Structure 1
Amino acid sequence: MVLTLSIMAIIVAFSLYDYFSSKSWQMVTSKERNETVFENRNKEYGAYQIRRDYNKRILLVFLGVTVGIGALWGASNLFKPLEQRKDTKYISENIAELFKNEEEIMEIPEPEKIEAPAVESIAEITAFRAPTPEDDPISDPQIAPIDPTKSIGLVDQKGDGKSIWDNPEIIPPGKGTGGTGLIEPPKNDDPVPYVDEPAEFPGGMNALREFIRDNIDLNMIDGSAKVSLKFVVDTDGTISSVIVTKTSEDCKSCEKAAIKVVKSMPNWKPGKLNGREVKSYYRLPINIQ
């Protein structure tokens, strides 16, 4: 199409230049010059007719070439197949289908349930048996005789004049160092199984779709398949440990192309756990048709 328009533009430019140039007195096709040269002569002579009709013939040739090129172009579009070759590879425009189930994008495994060991109750630990008279025989108490010379009442007891605050041995000082009161998640280099805020591609999900559609290498693909990938997003946003977890069809080239486009991605926004950036897993399905 571009080549056709270029040829037509050249022909138009040349024809216009020739047409306006022919009106100059210096050109043998000039009407005024032609009338002057053949004045009082036989105008039925061939040279007069050729010069007189030159511009008209050029215009007819230009129109004929233009119509011919337009007819060829129209015919080529009319008989062009409605579908391209069946083996043409493309990324489905409906790439949103890949993300219709958000659970496929980021599957959060349930944390393993750790069963605490059974704690015996106090009744089970302490074996209690009701006492019997043989274990604790009841004996008659011995009551001391009352001295009739002493009166019954309160007795004054003289103290040492000190309180418990004057004796530091009664309340020993504590040995604790205190703390910040904050519980931090354990620090290690392993990816966490789940996060509060999942990792995100720069620009969001729409930008991720456009990046995959624009950067996947179609030349290395010889089939179609839905490839599910799993990779790690580090705390600085870099991607590593890209692996294929599932493929709908046996298409090794599809797997290689999917891994290649994921590794070429820019740094992501890392996931967060308890407000802190952490390593996390991310699952991404790519549909190649």
Structure 2
Amino acid sequence: MSKIDLTSLEWCELIFKDRNKNYGAYKMRQELGKRQTVALIIVTVVALVGFTLPRLIRMAIPEQKEEMVEVTQISALEEPEVKEENIIKKVEPVAPPPALKSTIKFTTPVIKKDEEVQDEDMLKSQDELSETKVQISIADVKGNDELNGQDIADLQEVITQTPEKKQEPYTMVEQMPQFPGGQAELLKYIAKNLRYPTISQENGIQGKVILRFVVSAEGKVENVQVLRSLDPYCDKEAVRVVQSLPQWIPGKQNGRNVPVYYTCPIVFKLQ
């Protein structure tokens, strides 16, 4: 049996013998060989372009040299220890000296009886002054304003001290601060002096305001803060009552008085 070309017209005629050749399948079968040939050419061209295009692009673009970039990893280093003597301290500005007149120290002579004058108070001769080891000096001051300057005798030495750094309050100490009479007296004082704001009562507001304040080393109530708010009017009244507290027994740490934080709830409750 001879081989039959499935794309040939003879095969197409054999298939459609005694059939309707006006049907579209007959025409498609006739053009099958042409379509396959065109498809093969298109695939071949696309493949050639796909393989040759990168090479053509590399040939068209000049070759560039690769630059090597060195990346150095920087590790976190511990800060060097700085000695206290190497720390540059801020120099406080010094006030300029006051305007002074030129003066010479002079001691006003006092007339006494001979028997009241002691040997060391008697006027010494030049020879005695040369032989003694006692140094005698005269306070000469060269002034800088003879007309409006101030006499040095009228000046008083003013010693200024650097203000001490305020100690940070403690949260817990060995001996906590205490209201005189204890916790019961504190609650009694608050209940007696607290005034429920009328506008808060009318709005039906009730609850708790939590305050924090500092009992200083002297036992004074300072720095009152609202930790949990209830109502602006209730908050204000709670702060007012706490600020009016009398002096406390201060807290102690290592046997000395220290400032301590103290937390106090203030309750507003409708009857």
Normalised by the shorter chain, which TM-score bucket? Answer: 0.3 to 0.5
**Relative contact order, CA 8 A, sep 6+: which one is greater?**
1
TM-score, length basis structure 2: 0.36
Please say which structure displays the higher CA radius of gyration.
Answer: 2
TM-score, length basis structure 1: 0.33
